[in-house]
Structure 1
């Protein structure tokens, strides 16, 4: 009896929050290049339009503020319907706050928590039924090396990124029986619009950038694609026995 040849694998289906720029966009571009379809959630409508122009018919743009619970639910449900299900979720939306604690207003503190911590929670909660319906899947939360080793004048940012790591570990326990894996990637200095705000407004931007490089064993700033490789690995079948981990993609800063 002749074996029946297997047909081509169905395209993987990803939701990426913060998918219009930086690491999120790098993940989306790499995923599409490898045959996936992606739904991008972002509040920047112009950047979303440009991202979809680059990615073509394999991408859907959904305007969404990840701190807005009803908007998140609507966007994730629309994404799942358009994709025909969800295999993986990547939470990449995030903001920074380069200020001392005393200079941080209540409103600024609340906004960083809302986007960096409550946002991933809301997107995960909305996506879980779709991942479960697909028979399991993967969640990758973009935390930060600052969630493993702190930085000065970033109390809000460091607190939220450390919390995202522990949130993912706890969720990994909750969802393991459903075949859903949850991991975090902790980037170091990555050449993104968000990272550039950490030195471009300094009195001496070149010196500030040089000081940042000195924190890293590899002595350089990474490209977003270097993080995207780690994200796609953790979100894919090759990492089928990995859950609850926090992978530092940080050029060695957390031990250097």
Structure 2
């Protein structure tokens, strides 16, 4: 049975790069996101095969249906799930509404918890599995008016440690990647005109000891390491992949 990985938020950015990275290494990829057209574009780049799982992860009934389809198909052995889907918001505690906080929690935390909880019995039955959560350096050290996002991403870091403890006896590993500033659609500068975008990125370079912002592929390689047998004796880790920005 061919090994497989499930990547959420796989239609662009870090998720798309992660799907392609796993595929390069022989994994069949389940691509989960809302935009089916963009998923199809990513699937064409997955040389080891891919299946589209078009789903709004905040719709729990739809999510449960998709999960059940994957877990009962028995076509591939799903060895890894990557909880990457998320949204970013820049608001202070005072400015952020209850709705904003609830949305941040639902998408960035509750949906990954729901998905992971569903896969735990599956991983136990097959004798192990890998969970990789995508948090943020803001979950390690908040900066600026990002209180809701930072708080939820910090919760993901803590949850990862809990998962590692709970899953250890069943050979279920859980690790977390904490990206810094990466050129993906989650950031406003990603879609600016070229001249404006380059100006913003040039300013950001000064914040990075390594002198550049990240690319999705930088994060994808770290996710692959933690989600594959390359890291077979690693669990409970929250790994910053940030060009050293948290050192300053």
In the superposition, the TM-score normalised over structure 2's length comes to: 0.91
Quote the Cα distance in structure 1 between the aligned partners of 2:33 and 2:209: 33
Residue 119 of structure 2 corresponds to which residue in structure 1? 127
> CA contact under 8 A between 2:11 and 2:39: conserved in structure 1?
yes
Quote the Cα distance in structure 2 between the aligned partners of 1:79 and 1:183: 22
* The one of 127, 133, 152 aligned to 1:160: 152
| Secondary structure, counterpart of 1:85 in structure 2 | strand
Residue 212 of structure 2 corresponds to which residue in structure 1? 220
Between 1:205-214 and 1:134-143, the stretch displaced more is: 205-214
Q: CA 1:95 to 1:74, structure 2 compared with 1: closer, same or farther past 3 Å?
A: same
Residue 60 of structure 2 corresponds to which residue in structure 1? 69
> CA contact under 8 A between 2:2 and 2:76: conserved in structure 1?
no
Between 1:77-86 and 1:17-26, the stretch displaced more is: 77-86
Between 1:98-107 and 1:155-164, the stretch displaced more is: 98-107
Q: How many positions carry a matched residue from both structures? A: 245
Residue 3 of structure 1 corresponds to which residue in structure 2? none
Quote the Cα distance in structure 2 between the aligned partners of 1:143 and 1:60: 25
Quote the Cα distance in structure 1 between the aligned partners of 2:246 and 2:220: 19
Offset of residue 83 of structure 1: 4.4
Residue 189 of structure 1 corresponds to which residue in structure 2? 181
Quote the Cα distance in structure 2 between the aligned partners of 1:244 and 1:105: 32
Gaps of 5+ in 1: 1-9
Which has the higher Rg, Structure 1 or Structure 2?
Answer: 1
2:15 aligned with 1:24: yes
Offset of residue 45 of structure 1: 2.2
> CA contact under 8 A between 2:189 and 2:200: conserved in structure 1?
no
Quote the Cα distance in structure 2 between the aligned partners of 1:212 and 1:102: 27
> CA contact under 8 A between 1:140 and 1:184: conserved in structure 2?
yes
> CA contact under 8 A between 1:38 and 1:83: conserved in structure 2?
no
Q: CA 1:82 to 1:47, structure 2 compared with 1: closer, same or farther past 3 Å?
A: farther
Gaps of 5+ in 2: none
Residue 247 of structure 2 corresponds to which residue in structure 1? 255
| Secondary structure, counterpart of 2:142 in structure 1 | coil
* The one of 55, 76, 85 aligned to 1:84: 76
In the superposition, the TM-score normalised over structure 1's length comes to: 0.88
Offset of residue 206 of structure 1: 5.4
Between 1:110-119 and 1:191-200, the stretch displaced more is: 191-200
